Every structure is written in structure tokens, then in C-alpha cells.
Structure 1
Amino acid sequence: MAKVSPINDLPLISLITVNYNQAQVTCDLLESIRGLTYPHFEVIVVDNGSREDPTERILQGNYPNVSVIVSAENLGFSGGNNLGIRHARGDYYFLLNNDTIVTPDLLEQLLEPFRLDPTVGVSCPKIRFYDRPNTIQYAGYHPLSAYTGRTWAIGLMETDQGQYEQPGPTWFAHGAAMLVSRAVLKRAGYLDESFFLYYEELDWSMRIRQAGFRIYYQPKALIYHRESMSVGKENPMRVYYHTRNRLWFMRRNVSGLPLLVFYLYYLGLAVPKALVYYTVRGQRSYLNAVKAALIWNLKHSVKPPLSTASPVTIAV
């Protein structure tokens, strides 16, 4: 009969999720976490400067192993997760969007690649859409085009018929769910907070792979994602950060001829096309968002940003 390892012999996983004005959505995630079968984890909820402090509501739910960290300001996706990491005790950090629902054996399955391959630094689950539970959002990533700055998730919008059941290395982690080893933080550093929203996981993935780690797609692990609940499907803020950070990401990670070709493509074709589209539709706020994104890049040189500590309170 196989021996069962004591809980303290198992790696501690710190599950970190960021809340921003979505207490009920976050509680839905925490409710699903009750069903996790892995016994050794903690949950850290980072509130990113919400209008109302969700601490009392979350703690009243008596969810397992939960603590709440309240930031006085919105630190963005990168800053909120970094704040959670700094307060985590785990051997692994599981960055998980608050608008997801987990499945029972998720953590065991995500840990398996680390046990089988010591070069693995990040493990990501298969992601399906919550509202279309048989439709794939992520089954790994295609490589990035150094000339257009575009990549896309493998299997996106396909019906899951078991066509992506082969685990293995992939190019990028998905920001909605990624299990990261403590060793990654020591060698590749934290998420870059200059991105604030969008492209930060692609930038981090680049640095993680440059540090010698593999990013692994694990199809036996599964979550469901309510995509874009925090920002919405289409609005000026989304346009601003997508425009700003696509350019910023390429400036940070590509150089030489590929970067020149990207400039010609992006500034000579993609951006003008967007400007014409928003002009025809009379969407002045979207035009202003694109303009602001370009101005931001003109004002910022490519160098690691200095992180600043924000006041926080902790409830356990």
C-alpha cells in the first residue's frame, strides 16, 4: 500500500489572486477553491484599491487558508501580483485571475511537470471559457513574430475534442493562471510593473526563458475563465494599454532589423488603420487613447523601472 506524504512534506503553494471592485467574482473563485484536493496551500487575495474594502466579506466566507492584503492604490496586474508574492510563503506561486473557476485536482497536475523536469519554471493549465465550457481559450502559445509583435494562443476558440492533450514546453505563460517556482523569482525577477495591464506575462515569459527555464503547458490541469470581467471587452482603457504595451514590449524584447520592420508595420500600417477605424465610428475617446499610448512610449526609455512600495494593510 502506497504511503501518503504528510502535508508538511508537500510543497506549499501560495495561490495569489487580485481583486478590483469585484468582491462577488472573487468569492466565486474562493468558493471553487474549497474543492481543491491538494492539501498544502495558502490563498492571498490582493485588493487593488477597490472602492470598498472586501476584507470583511471575504473573511466572513470562511474560505480555506485565506488572507487579504489591501493596497491603498490600484497597482495594476503586475503590481498587485508582485505585492501578493512579497507576502507569500510558498515554494510555488500560483498567479490566478479572480474571474476563474478551478477544478479539484488542478494543483497536483500543475506540480507534476516540475517533478518530471527540473528545467521547468512555470506550469500553465488548459483554459476554457466559463460561458462556453467546451471552448478552448489557451492550450499553449504560438511563437512570437519579431516583425509584427503578434502571437496567439493555441486552440483559441476551438471546441475541445482532446486535440491538445499532449503536455510540453510552450512559448508563453497565460496571465490568467500560471504556477511559478520560487527559483524563477530569484533568477528572472518579478513581473515588470511598467506594463500595469496587458503584455506583462509575455514580457515575464521572455525573461523566464532567457534565465534558462521552460514554460510548460499541462493539459491535465484545467480552469474556466470569465474573460475580461475587470476591464470589459472593448473600451478606451483597453485600447490604450494594448497599444501602449505592444509597442513597449517590442522595444524591450526585440532589436536590430526585426524592431525596425516592426516599427514600419505597426506605426505605418496597424496604428493608422486603427485611427481610421475609430474616426469613421466617431470614437474620439479611442483616438485619444491611441494618441496617449504613443506619447507615453516617446517619453519612456527602455530600462528596468524602479518599484515603489505602496502602503498596505494585512488581514489574516
Structure 2
Amino acid sequence: MAEGERIDTMPLISLITINYNQAMVTCDLLESTRTLTYPRYEIIVVDNGSREDPTELIRRGNYPNVTVVVSPENLGFSGGNNLGIQYAQGDYYFLLNNDTIVTPNLLEQLLAPFYQDSTIGVTCPKIRYFDEPTIIQYAGYHPLNQYTGQTWAVGLKEPDQGQYDLPGPTFFAHGAAMLVSRAVLERAGSLDDSFFLYYEELDWSARIRRAGFQIYYQAEALIYHRESMSVGKANALKVYYHTRNRLWFMRRNVVGLPLRIFYLYYFGLALPKALIQYTLHWQPTYLKAVKDAIVWNLTHTSKQPASAVSPVEMAV
């Protein structure tokens, strides 16, 4: 906070996190927020239809500025965050996984780029693994390969030796931690509920960039992430949504020849390879998940934006 600046004139940040049958994990995150040095924020915990209402446990923790919103059903990552946004009063929305641990100056660092460039709509911190705290999970994103539908995080699984300490624009936000301005929601809309789980932040990032905003990697901000605690390392649910939403994302965001080449690659190489693997290891639930994912795409029409991502846009 600048000298002489009043707290009530500072932007309010609405930290939104989703709980699903992980009340103690969520409380670990809330406990870590006690160290935050930014003085003006609220926390909204959305319970996504858990077996047990976490409200009383969270209340007993006496965490400051926390509101618990209980959904009677699981709305997924997209729907849960959108529900939290409805209750948020902030100038900025900080979408944060419940399986993360924050660092003290996180919010100040994430806010700083917004003051420097009015075209910035989203900032994301450097993310390291909680269990391997010197190893990077995210330091920005590489551009999408529109022919294979693949992208990956910059620095993924590399030891952090300062090689990604330069902040700057990046291609996609990371769903585990993204600070979003209110202007983004006004111009680009919110997360699309159709994704439910996985690829939703990539789809949102593409729409945000088409709306004229930059997505910014803020290297001086840091969180720690317990990877894949929500769904597990590998299971049928993960196979289903990864398969379904990779296709759904491409149908919504890539057009013309690149999309046709992607179909040839995916159905001619990537998908048969996965099916062979699941058959050799005899994983019938995974085979059914793939079938269901394909059927879902065959029965759902893509609500493609008027100006879907072109090859040139994805390469700059």
C-alpha cells in the first residue's frame, strides 16, 4: 500500500474457491490466507454439492471475511466459479483452487500489472508443486498447436532456478490461480458452464484475448499447488472430461483447415493410440468414458464465437 493511501480506496479483491468433499484441504488454504498482506479482500467458498456441508467447520476456523455459498449440486469448475462470482463484490475476481497455498504478497503482485497496462485483463502467478516446492508447474503457457489441440505450461516440471522470472504476456491463464478484472466479465463473459471440468480456462482465455485483453504471467507472484487432488491422477472421470472437452474446445475455437487437420490427427492417431492402451491394460471404464465423450460431442452443437481463433492469432 502506498504511503497515505486509504484502505477503503484500494480495489476489493474477491477470492473465490470451490470445495468438493475436501473441507480440510479448503481449510488449509483459508489458513494460509491469514498471511496475506493485501488489506482489502473477501473470500467466497462455494461448496459444490459435497456429502457434508462444510459451513460449520469453516465457521469454527474463524477465518476473516469468508462467505460460504452452498450449492445443492455439483456445478463443476465452471459453474461453481460462476456461482461464486454472483456473490462477489470485488473489483477483481481471484479464482483460486482450494488445493493451493498462498504466499504473503501474492495479491499485491497480481494487482500490479493492471496499474501498468489497461489492456491486461488477467494475471496469473508462478505456480510450484506443493510436494516439490522448488519444481515449477506453471510459468505461462505456450501457444496452442491448432493442428493437434495441444499446449503445455512453460517450465513444467523444471527446477526453479530463476529462468522464468521475467513477467510478460502469455497465451493462456492457469485455472488454479487467475486474477480477473471486472471489465473482462463485462466484455468477454464468464466461464462457459458446458465444460464442467478441464479446458474451461483455455476456452475462457481464448475468448478473453479475442475481446482485446492480454493475459499476463506475473513472475513475482507465487503459489503452491497440490496437483490433481480434486479428481486424482487418473480415473474414468478424468478420461471422459479430457476427451470430451479437448474436442469441444477445438470445435469452439478453431475453424477451417486447421480444424479439419486436427480431426484427422485426433481420430487417426491420438484417439486410436489411447484406445489401444486402454484395451491392452483392460480398462473398460476408460473405454466407456471415451465412447461417452465422443457421443456427447456428436449430440451437442458448438456455440462457436463469431470470430473463432485463427491460426495467426494462436501463433502470436
Aligned pairs for 1:99-110 within 5 A: 99-110=99-110
Equivalent position of 1:30 in the other structure: 30
Q: After TM superposition, which residue ranges in structure 1, 4 or more long, deviate above 4 angstroms?
A: none
Determine what percentage of the aligned residue pairs are the same residue. 75
Q: Give the secondary-structure state (helix, strand or coil) at the position aligned to 2:28.
A: helix
| Rounded Cα–Cα distance in structure 2 between residues aligned with 1:170 and 1:91 | 22
2:291 is matched by which residue type in structure 1? Answer: K
How far has the Cα of 1:109 moved from its partner? 0.1
**What is the DSSP-based 3-state SS (H/G/I as helix, E as strand, rest coil) of the residue aligned with 1:180?**
strand
Q: Which residue of 1 aligns with 2:4?
A: 4
- Indicate yes or no: 2:296 matched with 1:280: no
CA apart distance, 1:304? 7.2
Residues 46 and 68 of structure 2 are in contact (CA less than 8 Å); yes or no, is this contact kept in structure 1?
yes
Within 1, Cα distance between the matches of 2:90 and 2:245?
Answer: 30
How far apart, in 2, do the equivalents of 1:139 and 1:101 lie?
A: 17
Aligned-partner Cα distance in 1 for 2:20–2:304 = 26
Query: In structure 1, what is the Cα distance between the partners aligned to 2:4 and 2:54?
Result: 37
- Determine helix, strand or coil for the equivalent of 2:195: coil
Aligned to 1:160: 160
**2:267 aligned partner:** 267
Pairwise CA distance, 1:4: 3.1
Conserved 8 A contact 2:82-2:191: yes
Whether the aligned pair in 1 keeps the contact of 2:79 and 2:196 (CA below 8 Å) is: yes
Aligned to 2:200: 200
Paired residue secondary structure (1:293) = helix
Q: What is the CA-CA distance between 1:303 and the residue it aligns to?
A: 1.7
Give runs of aligned pairs for residues 17-96 of structure 1, distance below 5 A. 17-96=17-96
Per the TM alignment, residue 60 of structure 1 is displaced from its structure 2 partner at its CA by 1.0
Could you tell me how far apart the structure 1 residues matched to 2:33 and 2:75 are?
25
Deviations 1:47-95 (A, max 9, x none): 0000000001001101010000000100000000000001100000000
Match for 1:240: what amino acid?
A: Y
Q: What's the counterpart of residue 245 of structure 1?
A: 245
Amino acid at match of 2:212: G
What is the alpha-carbon distance in structure 1 between the residues aligned to residue 4 and residue 145 of structure 2? Answer: 46
The aligned length equals 304
Which residue does 1:138 correspond to in 2? 138
Aligned partners of 1:284, 1:96: CA distance in 2, in Å? 34
Q: Which amino acid aligns with 1:272?
A: P
Deviation at 1:5, TM superposition (A): 1.2
SS for the counterpart of 2:223 is strand
Q: How does 1:97-246 map to 2 (within 5 A)?
A: 97-246=97-246
User: Secondary structure of 1:194's match?
Assistant: helix
Question: What letter corresponds to residue 294 of structure 1 in structure 2?
Answer: I
**In structure 2, C-alpha distance between the alignment counterparts of 1:161 and 1:92, rounded to whole Å:** 31
RMSD (Å), alpha carbons? 1.0
- Mapped to 1, the partners of 2:4 and 2:217 lie a distance apart of 27
* Partner SS for 2:104: coil
Q: Distance in 2 between matches of 1:3 and 1:260?
A: 57
Taking structure 2 as the reference length, what is the TM-score of the superposition? 0.95
Q: Give distance in 1, aligned partners of 2:40 and 2:3.
A: 17
Tell me the SS of whatever aligns to 2:221: strand
Equivalent residues of 2:251, 2:304 under 8 A apart: no
TM-score scaled by structure 1? 0.95
CA distance in structure 1 between the aligned counterparts of 2:86 and 2:207, rounded to whole angstroms:
19
> Is the CA contact (8 Å cut-off) linking 2:252 and 2:304 kept in structure 1?
no
2:312 is matched with which residue? Answer: none
Deviations 1:269-302 (A, max 9, x none): 1111100000000100000000000000000001
Structure 2 residue matching 1:233: 3-state secondary structure? coil
Alignment partners' CA distance in 1, 2:26 and 2:3: 36
Q: Does 1:293 align with 2:267?
A: no
**Structure 1 residue runs without a partner (length 5+):** 306-316
Distance in 2, matches of 1:60 and 1:220, equals 33
1:308 match: none
**Deviations, residues 104-126 of structure 1 (Å, cap 9, x unaligned):** 00000000000011100000000
Cα deviation, 1:11-42, whole Å, max 9, x if unaligned, reads 00000000000000000000000000000000
Which position in structure 2 is the counterpart of 1:313? none
